[in-house]
Amino acid sequence: MHVTLSIWQALLIALWVALVESRILGFSTLTMRFSPLMTGMMVGFIMGDIKQAMIVTAAIQLVYMGFVAPGGALPAEPCIATAIAVPVALLGHMSPQGAIAIAVPVGLLGSYLYQFRFFLNTFALKPMDKYAKEGNARGLGFAIMGIPTLISFALFIPLMFIALYFGAPVISGLVANIEHGTLIHVLNSVGGGLAALGIAVIMQVIGKKQLLPFFFLAYFMSVAFAKLDISMTIYAIFGAIFAILYVTFTSKKSTN
Amino acid sequence: MSEEVAATNADVPASEDVQAEEHRIPQPDKITNKDLMKSWFGWWWANEVPHTFDRMLAPAFCFGLIPTLKKLYKDKTELAKAFQRHLLFFNTQATWGGGTLTGVTISLEEARAKALANGEEPISEDMINNTKVGLMGPLAGIGDSIDSGTVQYIFIAIFLPFAQKGNFMGALLPFLCFAIATFTYGYYFTKMGYSLGRAAAKEIMTGGRMAGIIDGLGVLGLYMMGILAGQYIKIQSYLKFTISKKTFDVQDILNTILPGILPLFAVLMLYWYFQKQGLKITRGLVYLTIALVVLSIFYVI
């Protein structure tokens, strides 16, 4: 099957990415952002090859399996990665593994784009303070929802369109060049280390120093038992048991 | 303006009533399940849209509360004060944290509005804020690991074979299941938070059982953060040096001393920075990125 990427197809994919990355479709966009599946499906619909798009996307999903964003910092953007990697793979008749090699670096670059959105929001949302002070509910609602949505669309649609329409053919060549270079090493290291931020933020927010031993207990449990591949649910059950024990013993002490 | 002045001048005998009215605000409307759904939906919809570095998800939380606050505070100054206090720093997870706290906050705001209307001692603004801030961290720790870390991947894992065969249902079904499940139990948490918060409002003020619940959630939250730190932070040293023809691999040496020391070091440095300087997240992000870039350019990490 011969697939092409017209101006309209590139625009539609860019619009989809803006819808997901602006988060304007509510909390359910979490799984559209963390998982490549929905983006891969949309790219398949738009480019007219759902079957191959899903096969490539399933391979990319395996790379991002188990991705979470502790405290809000995701180390890569699977949605952006997929929106570029799947069209490139479909155009070039590439293997799913080739698509992964494109998705990973694009995803790392994309995570900076998402952080940049927070940065723009930080300054652009100032009018909300004015409306709050006036008790103006309508203005407040617009400042909170309207402004950041416009920012996201202005940020993601042009960039994604340019990357897809002009960049998609160039990207595969570029990725082959940087795959083993220092740039990709730096991106990988930064992506791998940034998760520390969200965790430290939550530790500070919980703010009870006397409970810190439980953080260390869990950290060394997960390091020591890494090879056992224990699921998150089992760890959550351990955590709940420790929490119940802690509350039971400390409350007894105070009543005696 | 001139009409108002004329009106007050005309009502001279009623001036005492006017003065009393100034201290009291009009009676709030009753909060129904429909209002709880409106606020839960508002928070669910806005959630990550207005995310900023300095206040995180506070604007989204405030957006969800707008329709409820309008019913509670018919007085413009009190309404403005309520809007402003919910735009202060706030960050949590959407369902376990945000759902529950939307409910709890509405019940506290309702108690405050009623007290103001009846001329009684109201719950203070600090008290409402402290309750939110005290619960948001522990609940976020739980919610992040359960919703995005477990529930999401259970659905993806179940339907992934469809995707691998090229069927689009492998994408659509996990999305629909996740969206419906989280929306449903998030609303349940909102309702639970509302009824629990109304009963627990007094207890929070005096300490008691609520302090135990916050402690327990703190233990679970910190515990889950420890697990996530161990599994998701990837920092290791690539430094190798040769002394008299013997090669030393720094990561191997670190592993013999204490495995996983570098990720732990990164978290503790950031935590220490926040302890000293307050919660300056943007600066923490910038310093961490600079450190990671510089170290990785020279292949130290």
On whether residue A1 sits in a domain, the answer given is no
Domain encompassing residue A239: 208-255
Residues A47 and A108 in one domain: yes
Q: What is the mean pLDDT of residues A46-54?
A: 95
Contact B149 A66 (CB under 8 A): yes
Lowest mean pLDDT, pick from A26-35, A72-81, A164-173, B181-190: A164-173
| Phi, psi of A180, rounded to the nearest 5 degrees | -115, 10
Enumerate residues 6+ apart whose C-beta is below 8 A from B150: A231, A232, A233, A236
- On chain B, the residues whose CB falls within 8 A of the CB of A50 are 166, 168
Determine, yes or no, domain membership for A203.
no
Predicted TM-score (pTM) of the model is 0.77
Whether A59 is covered by a domain: the verdict is yes
Nearest chain A CA: its distance from B49 CA (Å): 5
Residues A101 and A216 in one domain: no
- The phi and psi torsions of A220 (rounded to 5 degrees) equal -75, -25
Res. A252 pLDDT band, cuts 50 70 90: low
Q: Which of A92-101, A192-201, B227-236 has the highest mean pLDDT?
A: B227-236
Is A212 found in the same domain as A194?
no
Distance of alpha carbon B250 from alpha carbon A204, whole angstroms: 31
pLDDT tens for chain B, residues 1 to 301 = 444 444 444 444 444 444 444 467 899 999 999 999 999 999 999 999 999 988 999 999 999 999 999 999 999 999 999 999 999 999 999 998 999 999 999 999 999 999 999 988 888 888 898 888 888 888 887 788 778 877 888 788 788 889 989 999 999 999 999 999 999 999 999 998 998 886 655 555 555 666 777 788 788 888 888 888 888 788 888 888 888 888 888 888 888 888 889 999 999 999 999 999 887 777 887 888 889 889 988 888 7
Residues A186, A226 within the same domain: no
Say yes or no to pLDDT of A168 above 90. no
Residues of B in contact with A196 (CB under 8 A): 229, 233, 235, 263, 266-267, 270, 288
Q: Which of B112, B43, B111 is nearest to B81 (CA)?
A: B112
Q: Based on the domain organization, do A54 and A117 belong to the same domain? A: yes
Do A127 and A180 belong together in one domain? yes
- Per-residue pLDDT tens digits for B233-292: 888 888 888 888 888 888 888 888 888 899 999 999 999 999 998 877 778 878 888 898
Question: Which range among A102-106, A154-158, B220-224 has the greatest average pLDDT?
Answer: A154-158
Nearest chain A residue to B48 by CA: give it.
A23
Question: Over chain A, what is the mean pLDDT?
Answer: 85
Q: Determine, for residues B226 and A44 on separate chains, whether the beta-carbon distance falls below 8 Å.
A: no
pLDDT tier, A49 (very low <50, low <70, confident <90, very high otherwise): very high
Mean pLDDT of A66-93: 82
If asked whether residues A92 and A167 sit together in one domain, one would say yes
Please give, rounded to a whole number of angstroms, the shortest distance from the CA of A175 to a CA of chain B.
Answer: 19
Which site among B232, B264, B277 would you substitute to test the A interface, given the most A Cβ atoms closer than 10 Å to its Cβ? B232
| Residue pairs spanning A and B at CB distance below 8 A | 367
User: How many folded domains does chain A comprise?
Assistant: 2
pLDDT (mean) for A132-146 = 94
Chain A residues near residue B45 by CB distance under 8 angstroms: 26-27
DSSP for chain B, please give it: -HHHHHHHHHTGGGHHHHHHHHHS-PPPPPP-HHHHHHHHHHHHHHTTTT-BTTTBTHHHHHHHHHHHHHHH--SHHHHHHHHHHTTS-B---IIIIIIHHHHHHHHHHHHHHHHHHHTS-PPPHHHHHHHHHHHHHHHHHHHIIIIIIIIHHHHHHHHHHHHHTT-THHHHHHHHHHHHHHHHHHHHHHHHHHHHHHHHHHHHHH-THHHHHHHHHHHHHHHHHHHHHHHH-------EEEETTEEEEHHHHHHHH-TTHHHHHHHHHHHHHHHHH-S-HHHHHHHHHHHHHHHHHTT--
CB distance from A179 to chain B under 8 Å? no
Q: Are residues A160 and A137 in the same domain?
A: yes
Looking at the fold, whether A216 and A132 belong to one and the same domain comes out as no
- Tens of pLDDT, residue by residue over B10-36, are 444 444 444 444 467 899 999 999 999
Assess if residue A179 is contained within a domain: yes
Do A24 and A102 fall into the same domain? yes
* B contacts of A152 (beta carbons < 8 Å): 49
Which long-range contacts link A44-48 to residues 24+ away (Cβ below 8 Å)? A44/A86, A44/B168, A45/B168, A46/A9, A46/A12, A46/A13, A46/A16, A47/A3, A47/A5, A47/A9, A47/A87, A47/A90, A48/A3
Distance CA B9, CA B224 (A): 65
CB atoms within 10 A of CB B197: 24
Asked if A41 and A139 sit in the same domain, the reply is: yes
